[in-house]
Amino acid sequence: MKRFIKGFALSGALTAASTPALAHHVMDGGLPETFTQGLLSGFGHPVIGVDHLAFIIAVGLASAFTPNRFLTPLAFVVATLLGCAALLTGVTLPIAEIVIAGSIVVLGAMVLSGKSINATVYMGAFAAAGLFHGWAYGQSIIGAETTPLTAYLIGFAVIQYAIAVGAGALARKVWKAENALAIQPRLAGAVVAGVGAAFLIENIEGMLFSV
């Protein structure tokens, strides 16, 4: 019973976070104006957006069973920085929200499968998805001055890496999972995939029935 309680602990956390929170922004919709505000905004954005949070957790779970579990998540973190920079330079990524939701489903399903997947494959998937997640992050900082913008980038890079590494540590240390076949990480992967599916359906419906 304890194993299943631990396996579903993540489900409760993601469900609690699923309520919309200030449109993924911790500044009440306003732009940060100082280094501290930018840093706090960067820390908050990936956490209050449950779609981003679910993917970051899945990155950590997937990375936990790769040879370079501390290096592998960096592929996602760096890609989010590049994606944010792309938006700020005027690049438009098509159907970003659908791609983001779809990426959550795919990665959650990969973790759920329990298969041992090459770290290079994971890093490629992380990088591709990271561009879109980072592009979405950039929407909250458009128009900010250089100082809060720099702090924002530092904030969301640090918090993403910390969450990913923490999720991996949870899998390996707390759950005592020795490989990708362990039940707790796979249950968490199922929860992540479910969260992604909910967002994917919501976004597709929005496209189909938007006026």
Instruction: Render pLDDT for 83-102 as a digit per residue (tens, 0 to 9).
Output: 999 999 999 999 999 999 99
| Per-residue pLDDT, 207 | 87
In this prediction, residue 178 carries a pLDDT of 87
Mean pLDDT, rounded, of the chain = 88
For residue 74, give every residue at least 6 positions away whose Cβ sits within 8 Å of its Cβ, in sequence order, or none: 161
- Burial classification of residue 116, based on how many CB atoms lie within 10 Å of its CB (0-12 exposed, 13-18 middle, 19 or more buried): exposed
pLDDT, tens only, 151-178: 999 999 999 999 999 999 999 998 998 8
Query: pLDDT tens, 11-43?
Result: 444 443 443 333 445 656 689 999 999 999 999
pTM metric for this prediction: 0.86
Rounded distance, CA 47 to CA 24, Å? 8
For 71, phi then psi, to 5°, come to -90, -40
